[in-house]
Each structure stands twice: as structure tokens, then as C-alpha cells.
Structure 1
Amino acid sequence: MSTLVDRPAGAPQPPRTTPADLLPLLTASVRAVLTLLVPIAVLTLVAWLGAVRSTSSLAAVVRVGADGGLLGHGAPVAVIGGTLAVAPLGVTLLALASAVRAVRTWVRDQAAAERGVPFWPGTAVFAGGYGVLALLVALVTRSGVAAAGPLHALLGGLAVGAAGFALGARSHRPALPERVPAVVAAALRPAAACVAALLALGALTVAVALVHGRDDVFLLHRSLDPGWLGGTLLALAQSLLLPSLAVWAVAWLAGPGFAVGTATSVAPGGTVLATLPAVPVLGALPPQGPTPTATWLVVVLPVLVGAGAAALRRPRAGEPTGLRHRLAVAGLTGVLAGAAVALLAAVVSGPLGSGRMSELGPDPLLTGLAVAGEVAAGGVLALLLLRTWVARRGTRVPADLPAGLDAPAGGLLGRSRRPGRGTAGPGGGAGGAEPPGAGS
């Protein structure tokens, strides 16, 4: 009632978001799925046309492209003689980019119509539509040769759709509920920064390995004799694997390493390999045998990432600034970062057929635990060293403070000033004491 009384007479009432405004999100989900699958299908069709000896039908070629897209959503594909479960994260990133673009188009349409963007209902509608479409693709493309897991396709579609909506409508994302503990809310952003920094280090490690082992990579490529068209398509297919290899490199930097087949290991302590599949990018793997002891220094990098996240984090408004709270945030940052890396490791590991290739990628549990411990240790160590440095250095007050201003009550980590450490006050007394007779 008060709203009706307070509103000026004749003022237009802003339009409200109705369920009909959410229906275009279903169309957006269809557009996002097609934007991903159509280019993949075209590339597989080009490869089929360029393969002179291929006896596959056009329908089989389309199914191969669809299975590749579903594999990027984390859905394992059962084939004759084994299962393919190593997700090419390049396809996942393309799917995420397609979803973000579709959501942004809907957000612009809502803004043009002066309507709101309901975040959680929009997330449910878009992710639900995307997940159902992924499920339908998995069911339609099943055959006796290859079949993607329907449940995994649904869950992967829901995850990609939800992440795409969250990124596409991030400016309309509501604040965290008040019931979320302060330590959890404070650790979310530094944990995301730690994961991004670790992935960047992993990508840099892959780039260095490719440059260092370029001779072996080119040798494997030439041995396949793919021709110019096949070579181009092979290079494109391997580029979709590079983000997955970056996660493998994170596992290597953290210490546990990864496997490239059963009874194999690629870790800072050494490399144990057997016969590798004919994939040229695998020529960048370290050579067989033990590595120099100094290679273990790479484990310091995740520790430095955690230290940097803890030292550079700025507390939010109203957040406790005590050392105990900051230590708890640093520890939880490591736990969250480790959980995220473990999830990525689970997506990019698994079987790639049968036999020796039934074990590929890093161990999710060991990798997550290693990253969690190293990031948390780095953050805790950085805070303790910073606390010790401030305690020894003391709180220094600038001598050129404007008149009437004094130093802050606490130091960098909340250390209070001790009496007698301040500069002279206006009347020359210690600690800024007011001289006698100043008020007269």
C-alpha cells in the first residue's frame, strides 16, 4: 500500500519479468548447442571427404562429430574394445564461449525492453534446456559402434549451461547470502585466482615443453604422412587437447605427475614411459629416465601462488582483519583450489581405449591434495612471515602528516601502536599530547 501512495501520480510502472521472458533462453540454449556442434560436424565432414580410403557413411561421420562434442562435456564414449573418457577441454571452452554468447544476447534483449534479469530462474531455464539438448544428442547419436553416456551428457550439459549463464550474466549476479560464513566468502575469489594462476603456469609449461621437444613432435607428425589437409585437421584436433595438457602440467608442477598408459609416470622425480600412441604432441613429453634433483623446485611454484594470493588479498568491508581469520582464509583458499584442480583432473583423466591406454592423465585425489596443501602452506607461511616482519619493523608514522591527523590505530595486520612510539604532537609533547594551556 505504501508503494502505491509514494509513487508519483501518472508515473509509468516498470515492467516486471514474467515467465514469458525466460522462454527465449530455451531458444538461446538451442543456438548455443548448434553453434558448437555444427562447426565440429563440418570439420569431421571435411576430414571424411579428404580421406580417400574411408568407407564410413555420412551418418556415421555426423555421429563422430557429435560424440566429440559430448566428450568435451565430460560424457564418456563407449567404443568397440574400450571407452574414451579423456575430455578435450578445448571443446569444453568452445562450448562455454558459445553459451556465454547466447546468454549475453538474451541479456541485451532484456535491457532493450527495460526488463530485469532474474539470475537464478534464468540459470535454471538455460542450464536445464542445455542439459536436455545434450541428453537428446547423446540418445540420438547412439549406435553399435560408439555411444556416449546419457547421464554424463545431461550432467555435463547442466554444468556447462550453468557456468555459461553465470559468466554471461555476471553483472546481474546477486550477492552471496548472509548465511554464507565470512571465511568462505573471503576465500572464494583468491581460490579462483589461484586456480587461474596454476592453469597459466601449466599452459606455460606445455609451451616450453613443445618448444624444447619440437624435433620429436615434427618427427611424429611427418611419420603419419597426413598431407596438407590431414595435417591441418590434425593440428586443429591437437589444439583442442592443449588445455587438457595444461591440467596435466599442473599435476606435474604439484608433484604427483600423470600417467600416459598403465605402469607409466611423468613426474618431477623422473619419467617412465612405454609405447605411446601416434599423437605428435606427445613428443613433447620429458625423456625417459630420472630428472635432475633441481627439477623438484617446480613444486615451489604452487606454494608461491598461494603466498601471493594471501599477501595480495584485500579484506572486504566489514570483514574481520585478525590474524586467525586471515590464516583460516588462507587454509580454505588452498582447500577450494585443490578441489577445483581435482575436478579438472578427473575430467581430463581416464581410459583412452583398452589395454595399455586404459589409464591416462593425473590422479584426481593425489593432485587435489597436493595442490591444496601447497597453496595453503604458501598462504599461511606468507602471512606469518609478514606478521613477523611488521612486528620487528614496528609501525612507523610519516613525519609529514597534515595537521590534526594521526597515524592509524593498527598496523598492516592489525597491530596496535604502543604508547610513546608516535611523533611529537602540535605542542611538541610525546605521542601528540596536548600542551598545557592549549585550550585557553
Structure 2
Amino acid sequence: MTSLQTSARPAARGRGRQEAELRQALGSRRPLAPTATLGGALAAAGPLVVCMAVAVVGWFLTDAGGHGTPSGALRVGALGWLSAHGSGVSVQGVRLTAVPLGLTLLCAWSTWRIGHRVGESISGHGPDADRIKDGERDWTVPIAGGLFTLGYAVVGVLVTSLASTATTAPSGSHVVLWSVVLSAGIGLPALARGSGRAAIWVPTLPATLRDGALLVRAILRTWLLLALVALVASLVLDFSTAANIVSQLHADTGDTVLLGALSLLVLPNATLFSSGYLLGPGFTVGTGTLVTPTAVVLGPLPLFPILAALPDAGPTPGWTPWLMGTPVLVAFAASAWAHRARPARAWDQAAIRGCGAGLVAGLVLGLVTGLAGGAVGPGRMADVGPFAFDVFVHAVTAFGIGGLLGALATTWWQRRGGDLARAGLGRLRRS
């Protein structure tokens, strides 16, 4: 009896292993076309449902259902989702074109997560890793990416047609364009990573390109984090002004919660405003206004709590112009740290990597900054946002110089340390 039980256990374990492998194989070979198309639709529908649910909750919190209808609240949520895709919207004849980048980031996160899951589900299609390394073409990810984009864009078109009215007039073409950009820029890499193709393709790229991309990411992450810290610090130092704004609005608990949610939606926009300020060009909060480290000219402002972070109008303190040196320091530190972890083989390689990564980081920051502004109200509030082109010029210059100096300084230090170590070893041998 004991021998029968002993022999049965390995057999049971073998059957369990085979069943697990079978489930994994079936899970990674789901039909490519419907899986990718449905994944794109779900990536778009997830944030849409969240926006509509939050709109209904906000309607009950602020109005207790006294005015309007649930369908009207759902339409507001759908219009908010469309605005996150650059559609713009008209409210009482006033065109609002600013993009709530907080919602856009939610859509981007949903696209990445769903795209990664779709990639895992279709990873069994196409040639295996050995055949791909041998040069066989693999169209699994491009085809899935196209279908994923199609599913996302179809949802965008349907929402535009159902939620738009003659008075709101969101732009359907902008929604389709943003759908393609999100799906191609975020969904496609997620598909490649989830399917395992990225692990095969990335090592084939030149090491210089990979190291440069990591440095670009380090510069941008460090810089945007610094801009966010500066924004939060300004709000904390002038918190009484924000509280005064809320009190002037006579906001109850529901209204205050809604104001907080709206502030979170535009927090990425405000971070890019802070970035433009630290870089030097600054930004405008209405026609004829200017906020820079060297000059602050303000006019009448809407009652919105996050505007309490604005500096006082008039002459600026003597230390604020020194803030324009922070982008050089950030790029220097990021480049030095990156080259410390991944030393360059030669001086020219270090210089190209550091300066090139700084230039690319400045270009990306300039492009993203262009999305932060737009019309947020009537009259003078139709011109609000950072000066994107000036930010691009300053960022390319500052990040390029900082990245170059950081790379050269770290390379010099590493070579100096190596020379000292070799000199010390030579003295020990002679002694």
C-alpha cells in the first residue's frame, strides 16, 4: 500500500504540472483579433465609466438631485473624458480648450495596464524567441497594436456622437488623434512588454541608445518632481489664501470635495506651469499677465484654490532669479548619477550621451508643456498657459549643458580614481 501511494504522488504532481502548463498555453494563445480590439475598447471604456460615475456622485453632492437629471450628469462625465482627449467643449458659448492632464494620465494608465494584459494573452502567437532571434519577422505586436488602436478610437467616436450636442460641440477629430497617440505611444509598448517581445527586441538596440533613454527618463522624472515640490511648497506657504478662496465661494462639504477633485485633475497642468516658472520663461494666467522669476504681473483671477500658489504681483525677491539655475543642476545630477552607474568608455561617448539626453529631455518637456495651457474661460481667460516654445528653448539649453557637464565630471572622476588606484598598486609592487 505504501509503495502505491509513493508512486501515485509523482504522477499527481506530473498531472498538476501538465494542467498548469496547459492553462498557461491556453491563456497566452487567445484569438488575436478580438482580444486586441476588445482590449483597446476596454482601455478607453474604463476611465470613461469612472468619469461618468464621479460626475453623478458630484451632482448628488453639490445639488442633491435638485436640478438636472442623471443623464445630464452622465453627459458631463463623458464630456470630461472627451476633454481629456483634447476635444475641447463649449459651455454657454465659451470655448474651453484646456486639457485636464490628470484625466489624460488616468487614460494613459488604463491603456498601459490593459495593453500589458492583452500582450500576455496573445504572447503565444507568432514565432518563438529563437526564431525571432534568427531573423524571422514577427507581426504579432504591430497587428495587435493596430487593432488595439481601432478599438480605442471606435469608443472615442461613439462617445463623441452620443455625448455631444450643438452647444457643447466637442471635436471628434481631436479625440481620434489623441486616441491614436495614446494607443500607439503607450498601448504598443505595453503590448510588446506583456507579450515578451520587448525582452527580445530591447537587448538588440545599441547600448548607447538604451543608456541615453534611461538618462532622458531620469532627467524628466527628477525635474518634474522638483516642479511638483515647488508647487506644493508654494501652496503650503500660502494655504491661508486657498482657504480664503474656498470661504468666499461659500462652499459646503460637497462643493469642497468637488473643488479638491478638480484641483487634482489639473495638478499635472499646474506642475508644468511650475516647470515653466523655474526654467525662466514663466506662464500667463490671462491676457496681459506674466509670472516669471524676474517679474509678476497679475490681473483679476478666478476663485480657484490652486491659484493661491501664484507669487504676489510686483517686484520679485532677489533670490528668485537664481531659480533659473535649477534645471542645469538637475540635469547635472541626473547625468552624473547615470554615468556613475553606467560608465562611458570614452570622453566623446560620455559627452554625446550626456548632451544628447539633455537635448531630447528638453524637447520632450517642450512638447508636453504645449499641452498644459489653453482657454479656461471667457475674455482674458482665453489665454492661460506656459510659453511652450520658450520653455523648449530654455529646457534644451539648460538640460543639454547640465547633462554634458555631469557626464564629463563623472567620467573625469572615474578616470582619476582609476589612475590613483593604478598608481597606488604600482607603489605597492615596487615596495
1:30 equivalent in alignment to 2:53: no
Aligned to 1:170: 193
Letter in 2 for 1:127: T
Report the Cα offset of residue 229 of structure 1. 1.5
Aligned to 1:69: 81
1:356-399 Cα deviation digits (max 9, x unpaired) = 01111101111111111111111222344446667777711268
Q: Provide the C-alpha distance between the structure 2 equivalents of 1:283 and 1:313, rounded to a whole number of angstroms.
A: 37
**Shift in alpha-carbon separation, 1:39–1:88, aligned structure 2, 3 A:** same
Q: Provide the C-alpha distance between the structure 2 equivalents of 1:183 and 1:104, rounded to a whole number of angstroms.
A: 27
Q: Provide the C-alpha distance between the structure 2 equivalents of 1:320 and 1:135, rounded to a whole number of angstroms.
A: 49
Pairwise CA RMSD of aligned residues? Answer: 3.3
SS of residue paired to 1:175: helix
Q: Which structure would you say has the larger Rg?
A: 1
Letter in 1 for 2:82: L
**Equivalent residues in 2 for 1:19-418, closer than 5 Å:** 20-49=31-60, 50-51=62-63, 55-110=67-122, 118-162=140-184, 163-167=186-190, 170=193, 172=196, 173=198, 174-175=200-201, 184-314=209-339, 321-386=345-410, 395-397=419-421
Q: Which has the higher helix share?
A: 2
Q: Provide the C-alpha distance between the structure 1 equivalents of 2:31 and 2:297, rounded to a whole number of angstroms.
A: 59
Q: How many aligned positions are there?
A: 393
Would the aligned equivalents of 1:342 and 1:367 in 2 still touch at CA under 8 Å? yes
Would the aligned equivalents of 2:336 and 2:406 in 1 still touch at CA under 8 Å? yes
Would the aligned equivalents of 1:187 and 1:329 in 2 still touch at CA under 8 Å? yes
Letter in 2 for 1:35: G
Q: Provide the C-alpha distance between the structure 2 equivalents of 1:392 and 1:47, rounded to a whole number of angstroms.
A: 62
Letter in 2 for 1:46: V
Gaps of 5+ in 1: 1-11, 402-421, 430-440
Would the aligned equivalents of 1:132 and 1:157 in 2 still touch at CA under 8 Å? no
Q: Provide the C-alpha distance between the structure 2 equivalents of 1:216 and 1:133, rounded to a whole number of angstroms.
A: 42
Would the aligned equivalents of 1:79 and 1:147 in 2 still touch at CA under 8 Å? no
Q: Provide the C-alpha distance between the structure 2 equivalents of 1:65 and 1:109, rounded to a whole number of angstroms.
A: 31
SS of residue paired to 2:370: helix
Q: Provide the C-alpha distance between the structure 2 equivalents of 1:114 and 1:247, rounded to a whole number of angstroms.
A: 42
Report the Cα offset of residue 314 of structure 1. 4.2
Would the aligned equivalents of 1:256 and 1:267 in 2 still touch at CA under 8 Å? yes
Q: Provide the C-alpha distance between the structure 2 equivalents of 1:55 and 1:360, rounded to a whole number of angstroms.
A: 31
Report the Cα offset of residue 194 of structure 1. 0.9
**Shift in alpha-carbon separation, 1:387–1:233, aligned structure 2, 3 A:** closer
Report the Cα offset of residue 315 of structure 1. 9.3
1:274-305 Cα deviation digits (max 9, x unpaired) = 11112121122111112112112222221112
Letter in 2 for 1:128: L
Q: TM-score, normalised by structure 1?
A: 0.79
Gaps of 5+ in 2: 1-21, 129-137
Would the aligned equivalents of 2:48 and 2:77 in 1 still touch at CA under 8 Å? yes
Would the aligned equivalents of 1:190 and 1:309 in 2 still touch at CA under 8 Å? yes
Would the aligned equivalents of 1:37 and 1:66 in 2 still touch at CA under 8 Å? yes
SS of residue paired to 1:347: coil
Would the aligned equivalents of 1:48 and 1:54 in 2 still touch at CA under 8 Å? no
**Shift in alpha-carbon separation, 1:389–1:189, aligned structure 2, 3 A:** closer
Provide the identity percentage.
26
Q: TM-score, normalised by structure 2?
A: 0.81
Would the aligned equivalents of 2:287 and 2:381 in 1 still touch at CA under 8 Å? yes
Would the aligned equivalents of 2:29 and 2:121 in 1 still touch at CA under 8 Å? no
Q: Provide the C-alpha distance between the structure 1 equivalents of 2:157 and 2:428, rounded to a whole number of angstroms.
A: 74
Q: Provide the C-alpha distance between the structure 2 equivalents of 1:247 and 1:278, rounded to a whole number of angstroms.
A: 20
Q: Provide the C-alpha distance between the structure 1 equivalents of 2:265 and 2:280, rounded to a whole number of angstroms.
A: 25
Letter in 1 for 2:201: A
Letter in 2 for 1:206: L
Would the aligned equivalents of 1:30 and 1:133 in 2 still touch at CA under 8 Å? yes
Would the aligned equivalents of 2:157 and 2:175 in 1 still touch at CA under 8 Å? yes
Q: Provide the C-alpha distance between the structure 1 equivalents of 2:27 and 2:247, rounded to a whole number of angstroms.
A: 62
